[in-house]
Structure 1
């Protein structure tokens, strides 16, 4: 979705002056984003500090210092998925109330394998999912290119499909995939009752249900249910170890034991049977130990931050803005402003450099010319911000536009 991901190849019909202007503005944008990256690293206060802000040395020293809290470092290193990797699999299966779990190096591979396994078992290679879901937006058509899967969309609205849309869809599908939360729609979730109804509608059609739960860990507050109760609605679930938990990477697929055994076979075929993965597995265990218990507090404070952002924009006299969802479903949400993305990135960098407060991170051109969106994430560092702090920072940020 980022500007840098767009195709910048010149069409034959473009004149050279226009091309040079486009290249110049693209270069300015890259400089602004690099400036913001450095400003975020140096900021005293920010709403979150993701691992990718850290240096290699910081990440390595942190893992070495803390990993002994979650695993006996006197044990041998893992080989092809045993040891600490197998322990992580058992821990995840227990947390999600599943018979078994398989560790994968990436979520893209994990979901490729899960949906491929279900296609073989159901005899139907069609997957119903949202057009904003991760496989449709960020995986280069991998479902079709690698696994022979075909995708259909019960709805194109920026929300989860309803039970009626699933029940009345005009062609058969073997699996319904639900991304919880749906990131591109503002980290949106259905209500608990709606989720149950959608799952039941899929089952009425003899389809299996798979949850893209990359961020499932942060959904319990919205649903008012424990993680295992949420996960057990589905036939299989994928979870990430870095998107909510702050790990180095990695993912897992959970489900029935026979299904997970088949997934392990396909993991090997897809090149996911990695020789050693102990740094990733240890960081995942640390995330489960440290971040998972804190996620409910992040979700609750994200709602405080969202309210304060709205109040700050109103007090600053901003003519149009949008905080979406109005009440965040998770600890992440969107903010939209009617400004050029590069101008917003520059303002964010200036604010972080001059005040030490980093309120916003990257901004992305969205929807229409002159409109941009950013994703706000509230984690441990964000708990230090009061509503008054956020309102004051918003007004300072608007002043720089």
Structure 2
């Protein structure tokens, strides 16, 4: 995110006017709502975003220092901060995670002599990046598994062909923001190294995995040879990403960053917003994860009490502060009811779009951040009851 608020990206498919109108209504309802589970920064106005940055920036960096030029100054400070948090020798700032991961895996391919990257069928590069690994970077991907979970050690160990790198997305978003156990993750990374492969973490949302694993970021990142992290997905920055790993890898990655067009003249607003996220949001993520579990349990209880024939919260106990909800209704019906709830009651329970998964079956994503901490379990159940009532209203169809 963001592409369109709550909308998933489907390459080559244009939104119809109805879908665009619905997306605009969803966004407007969310902005006007008195109660929501999350208020991601990208929904704010430019004035609001700049005002918040102006408020927090003096405590983050000496604003009398010269602005960055081609990665100097504040960008270097951010890189050092990230490397320290992840326990790596060095880090490089990138404008996008797509670029950062292509560069990382291209560099590893040169070192291993094998351009094949083993990953999950639902991994972000496979689903959302227009085949960029192959088209742009000359990498070849193989899918270790398509099951809605991370690859296992046995699957990695028994895969039928060699690969130079194993890429693990933590958490795996399209499977429901799921994570393996700590023991499973260690075993999987060890299995890759038994095959002389390096391990790269797609850690766009790695920041919030500490609760599930019961380990600090540095210990989690230590299982990988390189790690990518995002500054906007969980930390609410303006954008940007970082690649962390051995200094020799990062030095080469910076050369490729230049070749890929990522050597941007000045990036201090984005770097400042990233530092703000590390200062303001990173310490709160465990609190968000804990409350997401309260919200998930209340959703299950609310749908059962409302008489919905079947409802699934996945994972049953969320691994992060984001998770999925599955309901046995048409996606358009669910989307309309969700928007109407915001418009008519000032409460938005389901802020994201609903994706059809079959006849009368759809899924959406839930995220719990600071705004969601104000919701009690009873608040969630009451909102579920209101939502189900709108589902039964013919106007929602």
TM-score for the superposition, normalised by structure 2: 0.95
Residue 6 and residue 93 in structure 1: after superposition, are their counterparts in 2 closer, same or farther (change >3 A)? closer
Aligned counterpart, 1:341: 331
> Among residues 250, 254, 259, which one is paired with 1:264 in the alignment?
254
For 1:253-286, what per-residue CA distance to the aligned partner results, in whole angstroms no more than 9, with x for missing partners? 0000101000000000000000000010000000
Q: Once the 2 structures are TM-superposed, how far is the Cα of residue 27 of structure 1 from its aligned partner?
A: 3.0
Q: Is 2:381 the counterpart of 1:391?
A: yes
Residue 3 and residue 282 in structure 1: after superposition, are their counterparts in 2 closer, same or farther (change >3 A)? closer
Q: Is 2:253 the counterpart of 1:248?
A: no
For 1:208-265, what per-residue CA distance to the aligned partner results, in whole angstroms no more than 9, with x for missing partners? 0000000000000000000000001100000000011000000000000101000000
Q: Is 2:149 the counterpart of 1:159?
A: yes
Residue 183 and residue 259 in structure 1: after superposition, are their counterparts in 2 closer, same or farther (change >3 A)? same
TM-score for the superposition, normalised by structure 1: 0.94
Q: Once the 2 structures are TM-superposed, how far is the Cα of residue 4 of structure 1 from its aligned partner?
A: 7.0
Aligned counterpart, 1:239: 229
Take 2:384 and 2:315, find their aligned partners in 1: how far apart are those partners? 18
Q: Once the 2 structures are TM-superposed, how far is the Cα of residue 341 of structure 1 from its aligned partner?
A: 2.0
Q: Once the 2 structures are TM-superposed, how far is the Cα of residue 338 of structure 1 from its aligned partner?
A: 1.7
RMSD: 1.4
Take 1:171 and 1:87, find their aligned partners in 2: how far apart are those partners? 41
Spell out the pairing of 1:261-340 with structure 2 (5 A cutoff). 261-340=251-330
Moved more, 362-371 or 187-196: 362-371
Take 1:187 and 1:232, find their aligned partners in 2: how far apart are those partners? 21
Residue 394 and residue 324 in structure 1: after superposition, are their counterparts in 2 closer, same or farther (change >3 A)? same
Aligned counterpart, 2:368: 378
Moved more, 109-118 or 352-361: 352-361
Moved more, 159-168 or 27-36: 27-36
Q: Once the 2 structures are TM-superposed, how far is the Cα of residue 33 of structure 1 from its aligned partner?
A: 2.1
Q: Is 2:58 the counterpart of 1:68?
A: yes
Spell out the pairing of 1:1-400 with structure 2 (5 A cutoff). 2=7, 5=10, 7=12, 26-400=16-390
Gaps of 5+ in 2: 1-5, 392-397
Take 2:11 and 2:389, find their aligned partners in 1: how far apart are those partners? 30
For 1:300-323, what per-residue CA distance to the aligned partner results, in whole angstroms no more than 9, with x for missing partners? 000000000000000000011110
Q: Once the 2 structures are TM-superposed, how far is the Cα of residue 7 of structure 1 from its aligned partner?
A: 4.9
Other structure's SS at 1:272 match: coil
Aligned counterpart, 1:14: none
Other structure's SS at 1:366 match: strand
Aligned residues: 386
